[in-house]
């Protein structure tokens, strides 16, 4: 068992760290406040090839795996970018790039991957719906064949990056739930080019991560060519799990990276700040919860790397899912605790935007809700790891 990163993985980590240092917390503070896309950051990581980490060399990427992508994400987040270090890579490279690498046809790969790898094409994924978030299989968006075209109708919600994306992974039902022999049957994946008049996009005002818009999307007779389907038809749910597991791992990495950032700033401040005779960092009341959260996150990180290793070595989605869910479950609780206590270290200043920790607090609170709630991750572990009866219908 070798826990050491390879020379190349260390270099990827260092490259990410160097970029992150040029986009410090004040950069993200401004972007979040103004609700502006972090164009300069996006261009910098695109030029350095970060959108092509998981894309094979023949399609313009560098042909590494999810492990290397998570390493890059963590260092970007931990060295100043917070969730910004994860977000764009997630919605373009994981939702777009990785889905196509794993399951796209040769036509899809040639069409999309070089543009994703270069950062020329932003991507997004249209999965969740107003009545199908946690209960993903209840999606109602339909794809019906009309001649040699697919016609898509339905509404999606929380589609991050849809306002800018030039490519979209659409999850739709080709067989309605009522007619499906089992709930997982009848879901198909499509790749669509945007913008398109049949796709209406409406950003949702939200709590944080305002350097990217999360949107309501409606499809009104969106017509797609036959070859926009990622085959096989009706079996898309199992393909999608190879996107949703990495999404979960990316959010574990977000917990680790954002917490590392918040903790490092809090530790630095705690060593200087005196309220009574000694620096507040010398008080165990602050030390213990931060030490505990940090240690738990380090454990979650190892579990996340195990999940990534399994994914890169083509383990089944079920096997990957076990470890991805357990890592996320632990990382989220520890991450929330880490940022909570980092904020406590700053006292009243923790409430001021200028100290940034309030933004990381808003950011980390997303990951107890998405990509799945903590409760659904617990359900997954109880049912699929421990073999207990399914607790909901």
Partner 1 sequence: MQLKEYLLSLKKESPNLKVDRGGGMKVFVLAKHAADPESEIKVSSDGKNVETSGLIFDINDWDRYAIEEGIRIKEKIGGEVVVVGVGKNCDDTLRKCLAMGADRAIKIPVDTNDAYQIAELIKKAIEKEKFDLIIAGYMSQDMNYSLVGALLAGMLNLPFATAVTSLKIDGGKVVAVRELEGGYKEEVELQIPCLITVQSGINEPRYVSVMGIKRARTKEIREVKLELPPSAVNILKIYPPPIKLAEILTGDASQIAAKIVEIVKSRGLI
The token duo for 298 is 């380090």
Q: Measured from the CB of residue 245, what is the shortest distance to partner 1 in angstroms?
A: 22
162: Cβ–Cβ under 8 A, 6 or more apart, which residues?
124, 126, 168, 194, 201, 213, 215, 217
In the bound complex, what is the minimum distance in angstroms from residue 118's beta carbon to partner 1? 11
Cβ atoms of 209 and 262 closer than 8 Å:
no
Q: Where in 74-133 is the site for partner 1 (CB under 8 A)?
A: none
Using CB under 8 A, which of the segments 4-12, 175-183, 217-225, 377-385 binds partner 1?
4-12
Do β-strands 199-203 and 149-160 pair in parallel, antiparallel, or remain unpaired? unpaired
57 binds partner 1 (CB under 8 A): yes
Question: Quick check: 203 and 252 in contact, CB under 8 A?
Answer: no
- The residue among 118 and 227 lying less far from partner 1, judged by its C-beta, is 118
Per rule CB under 8 A, count of chain residues that contact partner 1? 22
According to CB under 8 A, which one of 59, 64, 211, 269 is a site residue for partner 1?
64
Q: CA-CA distance, 234 to 231, in Å (whole number)?
A: 8
| Residues numbered 10-49 forming contacts with partner 1, rule: CB under 8 A | 11-12, 14-15, 18-19, 44, 47-49
What DSSP assignment string belongs to 328-341? HHHHHHHHHHHHHH
In the complex with partner 1, the residue whose CB is nearer, 53 or 345, is 53
Category of 147 on φ-ψ map: left (φ > 0), alpha (ψ -120 to 50) or beta: left
List, in sequence order, every residue forming a beta bridge with 126; answer none if it has no partner. Answer: 170
Q: Judged by CB, which is closer to partner 1: 48, or 370?
A: 48
* Shortest Å distance, C-beta 117 to partner 1: 9
Could you tell me the smallest distance in angstroms from the CB atom of residue 357 to partner 1? Answer: 23
Please report how close the Cβ of residue 11 comes to partner 1 at its closest, in angstroms.
5
In 22-105, alpha helices (H): 25-34, 39-47, 66-76, 84-88, 99-103
**Is 72 or 320 the residue whose CB approaches partner 1 more closely?**
72
- The answer to whether residue 62 forms part of the interface with partner 1 (CB under 8 A) is yes
Q: Which of 70, 72, 86, 152 binds partner 1 (CB under 8 A)?
A: 72
How many angstroms separate the CA atoms of 393 and 384, rounded?
15
Nearer to partner 1, 15 or 177 (CB): 15
Binding segment for partner 1 among 63-71, 250-258, 290-298, 374-382 (CB under 8 A)?
Answer: 63-71
Peptide bond into 232 cis (omega under 30): yes
Q: Residue 214: name the closest of 125, 147, 329 by CA.
A: 125
Asked if omega into 304 is within 30° of 0 (cis), the reply is no
Q: Enumerate binding residues for partner 1 (CB under 8 A).
A: 7-8, 11-12, 14-15, 18-19, 44, 47-50, 52-53, 57, 61-64, 68, 72
């Amino acid at each position: 068992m070798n826990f050491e990163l390879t020379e190349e993985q260390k270099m990827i980590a260092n490259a990410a760290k160097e970029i992150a240092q040029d986009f410090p917390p004040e950069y993200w503070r401004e972007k979040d406040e103004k609700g502006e896309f972090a164009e300069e950051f996006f261009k910098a990581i695109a030029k350095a090839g970060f959108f092509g980490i998981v894309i094979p060399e023949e399609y313009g990427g560098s042909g590494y795996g999810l492990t290397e992508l998570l390493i890059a994400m963590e260092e970007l987040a931990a060295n100043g970018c917070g969730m910004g270090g994860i977000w764009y890579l997630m919605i373009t490279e994981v939702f777009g790039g990785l889905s196509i690498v794993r399951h796209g046809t040769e036509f899809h790969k040639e069409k999309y991957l070089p543009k994703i790898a270069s950062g020329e094409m932003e991507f997004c994924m249209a999965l969740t719906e107003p009545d199908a978030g946690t209960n993903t299989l209840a999606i109602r968006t339909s794809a019906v064949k009309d001649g040699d075209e697919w016609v898509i109708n339905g509404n999606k919600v929380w589609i991050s990056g849809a306002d800018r994306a030039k490519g979209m992974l659409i999850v739709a039902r080709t067989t309605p739930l009522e007619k499906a022999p089992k709930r997982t049957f009848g879901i198909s994946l499509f790749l669509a080019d945007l913008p398109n008049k049949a796709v209406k996009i409406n950003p949702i005002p939200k709590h944080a991560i305002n350097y990217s818009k999360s949107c309501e999307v409606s499809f009104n007779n969106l017509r797609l060519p036959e070859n926009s389907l990622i085959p096989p038809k009706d079996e898309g749910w199992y393909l999608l799990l190879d996107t949703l597991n990495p999404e979960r791992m990316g959010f574990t990495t977000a917990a680790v990276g954002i917490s590392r950032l918040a903790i490092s700033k809090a530790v630095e401040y705690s060593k200087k700040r005196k309220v009574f005779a000694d620096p507040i960092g010398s008080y165990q009341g602050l030390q213990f919860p931060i030490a505990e959260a940090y240690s738990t996150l380090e454990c979650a990180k190892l579990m996340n790397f195990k999940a990534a290793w399994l994914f890169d070595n083509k383990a089944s989605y079920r096997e990957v899912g076990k470890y991805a869910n357990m890592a996320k479950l632990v990382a989220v609780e520890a991450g929330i605790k880490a940022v909570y206590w980092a904020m406590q270290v700053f006292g009243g200043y923790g409430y001021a935007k200028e100290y940034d920790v309030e933004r990381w607090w808003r950011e980390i609170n997303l990951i107890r809700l998405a990509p799945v709630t903590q409760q659904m991750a617990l359900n997954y572990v109880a049912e699929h790891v421990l073999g207990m009866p399914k607790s909901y219908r």
